[in-house]
Structure 1
C-alpha cells in the first residue's frame, strides 16, 4: 500500500532541481505542499491534508540533506588544482574516413608547440577539437576537406582535478553542474577523464564559473 511519504519522495526524485533545493532548505514547504497536493492525491486515490504532505516533505528534506550532500561535500572539499586557460576555439567535425589521419597531423603540430592548449573527444558521429586560437589556421588547413558542423571562438577552459574517490560517490558532477546552471553559465563542452574534468565557457563567464567551482571547496 502506498504511503504519503513514499509518494512524496517519488515525486521529488523525478525533479532534480527541486530535490536539491529541498535538501538545502530553501523552499517553503507549505507552499510546495499546496502545489503538489493534487498529484499526490491522484497517486494515492484519496484526499490528503496539506499538513501531512508538509510533514513528509520535512522528513524527506532532513534525509536528503544528509544523503545528497554529506559524501559529495566531503569529496569537493578535497578538489585539487584548478587550471584556467583562455583564447580557445572549439571545433566540431563530422566523422569521416580521413579524420583520424588529419587529427594525427594536428597532434604532431601540437607537439612542436608545447605552449598551446589542445584536447579532443570523439563521439559516434562527431569529433570535437579544442585548441588555442593561435592554432586556428593550422586546424582549418588540416581539416579543410572535412565537414565542420560548429566553430566557437573566444572561449576559456577550466580544468578541475578531483580526488580519486570521486568515482565511487554518485552525484559529484550533478552537484557541480547544477551550481553552474543556477548562475546562468553556459557550458560549450564538458570533457572528462577519471580524476579530472574540463569545462569550456565563454571568456565573459570564465571568472564567474571559476568562482563557483572554487567556492565548492568551502562548502
Structure 2
C-alpha cells in the first residue's frame, strides 16, 4: 500500500506547476495540504491529517531536483542547437486517396526552391503542411482538390537540437514544455525527428519562448 509521502510525491511529480512551485518556494504548504486531503483520503482509504500531509510535502520538496544551472543534458553540447524560423503557415487537410500523390508532387516542386521551410505530417485522418509563406501558392495549387480543415498564419518556429541519446531520457520533452507552460507561452504545435524538436509558436510568443529555451541550452 502506498504511504502518504509516496502518494504526495506522485501527485507533485505529475503536475509541472506543483513541482516547480514547490521547488521555488512559491506554494503555501498548509493550504496545499488542505486541498490535497480529500484526494489522499479517497486514494488511501483512510483518514489523513493535515500535519502529516505538510510533512510529506516538505520531504518531497527536499528531494526535488534543483534548477539546472548549466542547461539540460539531453540537449547537445555544441553551438547552433537553437534556431528560429519566421513567417510560417500551418495548413491542415482531410486525408483522402489523393493525399499521397499531392505529397509527392509538393516535395518534387518545392525542391526547386532553396532556403524555404517545408514539412508534411500525416496523421490517421489529417495531413498537416507547415511551410514558409512563399510556398503557400504551391501548397494551395497542389492540394486544390482537397478539403482544407484549418489554416494558421503568422507562426514562427524554434528548433532545439537534442542529443542522440535523448530518446532514452525520461521526461525530456516534459522538462522543455513545462518551462513554456510556466511562463504562459502558448505552443501551437510540435514536430520532432530523432535529434530535433521544432516548436510552432504564435509570432508574439516567439521572443519569450526563445529566451526561456535558451536557458536549457549548454554551450
Q: TM-score under structure 1 normalisation? A: 0.87
Q: Is the 8 A contact 2:81 2:217 kept in 1?
A: no
Which consecutive unaligned segments of at least 5 residues does structure 2 have?
Answer: none
Report SS of the residue matched to 2:158.
strand
2:175 is the counterpart of 1:188: no
CA contact (8 A) 1:106 1:139 kept: yes
| Deviation of 1:207 (Å) | 1.0
Give the SS at the match of 1:75: coil
Residue in structure 1 matched with residue 9 of structure 2 by the alignment: 9
TM-score with structure 2 length normalisation? 0.87
Instruction: Name the residue aligned to 1:138.
Output: 138
- Tell me how far 1:122 sits from its aligned partner: 1.0
- For 2:114 and 2:135, locate their aligned partners in 1 and report how far apart those are by CA, in whole Å: 12
200-209 or 43-52, which deviates more: 43-52
Aligned residue-pair number: 216
Stretch deviating more after TM superposition (45-54 or 140-149): 45-54
Distance in 2, matches of 1:25 and 1:217, equals 25
Structure-1 residue corresponding to 2:73 = 74
Output the aligned Cα RMSD: 2.4
Matched residue, 1:53: 53
Shift of 1:161: 0.5
Shift of 1:142: 1.0
- CA displacement at 1:95 relative to structure 2: 0.8
Shift of 1:20: 4.0
* 8 Å CA contact 1:89, 1:151 repeated in 2: yes
1:101 and 2:105 are equivalent in the alignment: no
Indicate if the aligned counterparts of 2:156 and 2:201 stay in contact, CA closer than 8 A. Answer: yes
Q: Closer, same or farther in 2 for the Cα pair 1:139/1:2, shift >3 Å?
A: closer
- Residue 165 of structure 1, CA deviation: 2.5
Query: Which residue in 1 is equivalent to 2:125?
Result: 125
Unaligned runs of 5+ in 1: none
Greater helix percent: which structure? Answer: 1
1:110 corresponds to 2:77: no
Q: Confirm or deny: 8 A CA contact 1:78 1:162 kept in the other structure.
A: no
> Does the 8 Å contact 1:77/1:216 carry over to 2?
no
Aligned-partner SS, 2:165: helix
Deviations 1:141-179 (A, max 9, x none): 111100110111111111110112311111111111111
State the Cα deviation string for residues 51-108 of structure 1 (Å, max 9, x = none): 2211111111222326x979x9333484751111111111101111111111111111
